[in-house]
Chains A and B, each alone.
Chain A
């Protein structure tokens, strides 16, 4: 029903969809959308428009295909034959480019293009040949629950977007993918399910609105994901020797896991971590991507937040929502337990493994555990 006090505007809903509101306001708008037909209708229309506009660009010639075509253009000109030649060509290309700067002959547009291609594209070819085509690594199972479809594209590319609808079955979950999860939808990932008779290496629920990506080189037992924005809940099996589980957020922070259950939230450059079971290393990523651990977080620590500048702040277990700053995500209708189906692959039973349940932010956990279909569909 329409909230008699409804004062949501189209502008506010757009800021919500664009994730431009502070965390606290995101939570307020989320609640408003959930409880007011008028706001929900406005939100759904605007979210549909946003998706339509984004899909308009999926055929753009940019992304990885742009890089590949640059290589092809060079290859068709016969300027590079093999990786060894490619490396030599880079050197000769460098010399040619240096020579070109002093040469009036090479000031023509065509010569400039050739000179630059001699330098740039052989480098791309050399890298491509040396690295070789990436083998697509299946990480386990994937399932979408909730209201809308999840968009999937190859990392670094805009051209290969598919949409996975909410459905009871499970699809393959691969490395090197970017998942866009709309509000009201949850992406459940099971790493290494059924792998060599072992338990899943991890189970993750990413609640929309969120963007989550997987590193192209990761495996179920050496997993590296990136929570670009949104909220994620993970249950990770104990790691064996040489195994790792890492979740970065926005390229700034990283949580390293030994074996645990935790909730991670990425908002406006800040990352919040709540550990329900086990122990998680929590730190920042340096300029070269190196991990610098700031603290270890256990269930007794409550919610710990790392700001963009790497400043650490802890939330006392007794702190209420008014003090918790960014720990109030906006997840209208989203749920880690989004499907009541017994075979849900990545859902922990409510309360399972949460010795410190009273110390986690209630709103976050409530929203992650809230049943799907808030509209009663």
Chain B
């Protein structure tokens, strides 16, 4: 809530720096979704968000509207992410740097094609659990790989929607787009992802 953010900011500025942790806890996922949208790499995104919090803290006294901390912080994250992207000047890293990428591609394809359940069953043995964990990790890796193939704005919309659970309106405010533009981007991105994931994960995703 905006009023809550205003209170946090005012308390930090009034001499309670520990209150900043509330803002870190509340907005690190949002920052992560934005940074991932730009960078397509969780490790880089984490560094960027950490740095953005530090910068936000340093500049907090200059925040004119404390209630709008969220938008201000989002702007810092986005600018930092773009800076990092420019500095790197290397092809996008695949999201496979996650631990999720433990299983190699070939094995993942086989597992993905043979096991479709996405849930833990109470009767499964430890071996089943390990297998399930590997399958889930592989599937998550493939999902991220597909998402990383989207263009930057589409990837950010998907991240904000599916990582942070934001509404169209919230995404529109953050990205300075119209609600219809957000919906359009989301729809287009999902259409692309549907095709890719249906093939990669052998999911039954009817043509829509």
Instruction: Decide: B42 and A60 in contact? CB cutoff 8 A.
Output: yes
A44 to B203, CA, bound (A): 11
Closest chain A residue to B205 by CB distance?
A45
Instruction: Decide: B208 and A57 in contact? CB cutoff 8 A.
Output: no
Given A18-B161, A70-B50, A287-B7: A93 in contact with B58 (beta carbons within 8 A): no
Given A53-B162, A56-B143, A61-B32: A67 in contact with B25 (beta carbons within 8 A): yes
Task: Count contacts on B: residues with CB < 8 A to the other chain.
Answer: 64
> Which interface residue of B33, B147, B197, B208 has the most chain A CB atoms within 10 A?
B208
Least CB distance from B62 to A in Å reads 12
- Which among A46, A59, A116 is the interface contact of B99 at CB below 8 angstroms? A59
- Which among B4, B100, B122 is the interface contact of A59 at CB below 8 angstroms? B100
In the complex, 6 of the A-B residue pairs with CB atoms within 8 angstroms, ordered by the A residue number, are: A18-B167, A18-B186, A52-B201, A53-B161, A69-B46, A162-B120
User: Is the C-beta of B53 less than 8 angstroms from some C-beta in chain A?
Assistant: yes
Least CB distance from A87 to B in Å reads 8
Instruction: Decide: A61 and B46 in contact? CB cutoff 8 A.
Output: yes
Report B-chain residues with C-beta under 8 Å of the C-beta of A10.
Answer: 187, 208
A59 to B46, CA, bound (A): 12
A113 to B17, CA, bound (A): 16
Report B-chain residues with C-beta under 8 Å of the C-beta of A13.
Answer: 208
A residues apposed to B, CB below 8 Å:
10-11, 13-15, 18-20, 41-42, 44-46, 48-64, 66-67, 69-70, 90, 93-94, 97, 112-113, 116-117, 119-120, 123-124, 126-127, 149, 156, 158, 162-165, 167, 169, 211, 251, 287-289
> Which interface residue of B139, B165, B193 has the most chain A CB atoms within 10 A?
B165
Report B-chain residues with C-beta under 8 Å of the C-beta of A116.
Answer: 54, 57-58
A66 to B163, CA, bound (A): 15
Closest chain B residue to A211 by CB distance?
B165
- Which among B21, B42, B51, B183 is the interface contact of A127 at CB below 8 angstroms? B21
User: Is the C-beta of B118 less than 8 angstroms from some C-beta in chain A?
Assistant: yes
Report A-chain residues with C-beta under 8 Å of the C-beta of B7.
Answer: 287-288
Report A-chain residues with C-beta under 8 Å of the C-beta of B139.
Answer: 52, 55
Instruction: Decide: B203 and A60 in contact? CB cutoff 8 A.
Output: no
Least CB distance from B41 to A in Å reads 11
Report B-chain residues with C-beta under 8 Å of the C-beta of A124.
Answer: 18, 21, 24
Instruction: Decide: A55 and B57 in contact? CB cutoff 8 A.
Output: no
- Which among A19, A64, A288 is the interface contact of B25 at CB below 8 angstroms? A64
Least CB distance from B162 to A in Å reads 4
